[in-house]
Chain A
Amino acid sequence: MSEVIVITSGKGGVGKTTTSANIGTGLAMLGMRTVMIDTDIGLRNLDVVMGLENRIVYNLVDVVEGNCRMKQALIRDKRYQNLYLLPSAQTRDKSAVNPEQMIKLVEDLREDFDYILLDCPAGIEQGFRNAIAGADRALVVTTPEVSAIRDADRIIGLLEASDLKSIHLIVNRVRMDMVRRGDMMSVDDVMDILAVPLLGAVPDDEAIVISANQGEPLAGTDSAPGQAYLDICKRLMGEDIPLYVPHVTRSLFSRISGFFKRAQEAI
């Protein structure tokens, strides 16, 4: 039985694509046949985060328009044989695809995959409508910021209105040091306000930037976010993993050098 999951947020830049890449990688690592679909037509990014940007020949719009077969457009991941990417088109716009075509596309993939992940574009326009059309469940990504949570609330309302009832929250870029001193909303605060069950929280960590630079998602690696993503994948698969926010410990050296850097900037 396959499951179609849309990863959405409303606001841009909160980490939808990073989350999609890492959940895809994590599920594949756990043995699931997984395909990630970049639905952001005109602004594709998931290929870059996955490090697959040089292998694109056909894209989502080509499949929808019948220019190629699905198998020709799917790109196999570098590391996992059971992980595929359907890239988005870079030279077209959102109107190139409609919700009915997306539903058909997703249905065609159900047979061959356990998980179909849809990386949704920012915003609430047609790109969002397309992405959620074929989904069974939704993961709403937010950060502990007023603007991101406000948009997440709006998105949750829109998802509920379009009869997508299974909605879970991922709180991204949590900095426990800031939460502890009261300068960042906690994961509990965010959950209280949005009233949606939590699937996981991901700590802010420079390892994320490094992994994006390298085009290698870090799900499952020995880093705080890597573990957080793997836990999220296990919870997606129905495993009962206790919720916690891994703390990113900064070494004494990085703290001292950070202090000097800030002091320098102040001068």
Chain B
Amino acid sequence: MIRMLRIRRERSGSVARRRLKILLAADKTGCSPELLEMLKSDLCRVLSRYMEVDSDRMEVRVERMPLPGYAQDMPALCANIPIRRLTCSKGTFG
């Protein structure tokens, strides 16, 4: 019984590894996971005025990268947002 419970629970070593990876990414960008979630849902709301997006599969993160016009790496917002259907009435997207 005890053994079965143990198997189901994730070992603390891998919990630590996972937490660390998220933590370090947040430290480097100065952007907490909570803040990113808020940004994500706001983005979804705004985008839904123009298109239907797959909110479950969208990825939003902040990464440091070289950008034109800057001498050093800058934090940049990177997003992959799958579009299910364009609902734009102006016909800009054809």
Residues of A within 8 A of B (CB): 144-146, 149-150, 153-154, 157, 178-179, 181-186, 189, 193
Q: Are A146 and B14 in contact (CB under 8 A)?
A: no
Instruction: Verify if B2 is at the interface (C-beta below 8 Å from A).
Output: no
Name which residue of chain B comes closest to A193, CB basis.
B20
Chain B residues near A193: list those with CB within 8 A.
17, 20-21, 24
Known contacts A145-B16, A146-B16, A154-B27, A181 near B11 by CB under 8 Å? yes
Q: For residue B90, give the distance in angstroms from its CB to the closest CB of chain A.
A: 46
Q: Interface SS of chain B: helix, strand, loop or mixed? A: helix
Chain B contact residue count (CB 8 A cutoff)? 13
Q: For residue A179, give the distance in angstroms from its CB to the closest CB of chain B.
A: 7
Q: Are B23 and A182 in contact (CB under 8 A)?
A: no
Q: State in angstroms the CA–CA spacing of A146 and B18 once bound together.
A: 10
Instruction: Verify if B94 is at the interface (C-beta below 8 Å from A).
Output: no
Identify which of A149, A150, A153, A183 contacts B13 (C-beta below 8 A).
Answer: A183
Q: State in angstroms the CA–CA spacing of A264 and B21 once bound together.
A: 38
Q: State in angstroms the CA–CA spacing of A70 and B20 once bound together.
A: 44
Q: Are A150 and B11 in contact (CB under 8 A)?
A: no
List 12 extra interface pairs beyond A150-B20, A183-B12, CB under 8 A.
A146-B16, A146-B19, A150-B27, A153-B24, A157-B28, A182-B13, A183-B11, A183-B13, A185-B17, A189-B13, A189-B17, A193-B17
- The interface bits of chain B over 16-58 (1 if a CB of A lies within 8 angstroms of the residue's CB, else 0) are 1101110110011000000000000000000000000000000
The 6 closest A-B pairs by CB, nearest first: A182-B11, A182-B13, A183-B12, A146-B20, A146-B16, A185-B13
Chain A residues near B24: list those with CB within 8 A.
150, 153, 193
